Amino acid sequence: MTGVTLLGPWPGTGAAHAQRTALEILTEVPDTVEGLPAVVQLPARGPWAESVPRTAALLTDMPVDLGPHGWQLADRPGADLERTRSLIREDLEVLAAVAHGYRGPLVVSVRGPWTLAAVLYLARGDRVLSDHGACRDLVQSLAEGCAAMVTQLREAVPGSAVTLVVREPMLPDVLAGTLSTFSGRGRIPAVPSRDVDDGLVAAVRAARAAGAVQVVAHGGGRFASRALRALSASGA
């Protein structure tokens, strides 16, 4: 049987309308198709609603804020992080209302730990990916955050069977060492394959332990042999 879902960004700013539409479309499918309703994302609500901050907001004890060159780690939680978390709380409340009584699959997607480390910056410095210790902390923190998100979804929609999609579109760059430094004059060294594997496995295991029925590692539209091997080794 073919499964169909809608993980991409939705237009507009109305969470209730978008979530209701997603449920209706993907629960009224032919018998030969399995509809997989997803938690909608509405980036038109502002930079706080995009996929990177929504994932970063799941980090435990690693606050972020919006800096002049993008999202970065912060010394303490601030207004930007609170706006993102407020939107997530709103989305969960909307989901609980429009999916009341629903029983079936429910999909949520997050940026994977290595893509997140590639796009987030240190509070004072380069990309998180450039700091081994910060990467280690981010991997563990995101695993805990993914588990918490799965738990929150199961509480919001008790009849749901949650699938977590871990999206790693920047994994080829992480493994190949092709990401530029903040100055643009150098490249961040490649992350060893074993470290990449361990980071992905941590997210997969945490989500499953929290009750996710399935975890899918998605590499995006770009393919590289080492990235595919890492995704396969994750156990997702």
| Angle, alpha carbons 116-118-122 (nearest 5°) | 90
- Quick check: helix, strand or coil at residue 20? helix
CB proximity list for 180: less than 8 A, separation 6 or greater: 186, 187, 188
- pLDDT tens string 39-83: 999 999 999 999 999 999 999 999 999 999 899 999 999 999 999
CB proximity list for 76: less than 8 A, separation 6 or greater: 63
Band (105; pLDDT cuts 50, 70, 90): very high
State both tokens at 136: 């280690």
Band (4; pLDDT cuts 50, 70, 90): confident
pLDDT on residue 195: 96
Number of separate helices (H) and strands (E) present in the chain: 8, 7
Distance CA 58, CA 145 (A): 5
The mean per-residue pLDDT over the stretch 217-229 comes to 64
- pLDDT tens string 122-132: 998 899 999 99
State both tokens at 212: 């996710």
Distance CA 55, CA 142 (A): 8
pLDDT on residue 56: 98
Sketch the domain layout of the chain as residue ranges.
21-233
Question: Given its phi and psi angles, is residue 169 left (phi above 0), alpha (psi -120 to 50 degrees) or beta?
Answer: alpha
Q: Over 125-148, what HEC string results?
A: CCEHHHCHHHHHHHHHHHHHHHHH
% of residues, the chain, pLDDT over 70: 92
pLDDT on residue 225: 54
Distance CA 147, CA 126 (A): 28
pLDDT on residue 25: 86
- pLDDT tens string 154-187: 999 999 999 999 999 999 999 999 999 988 889 9
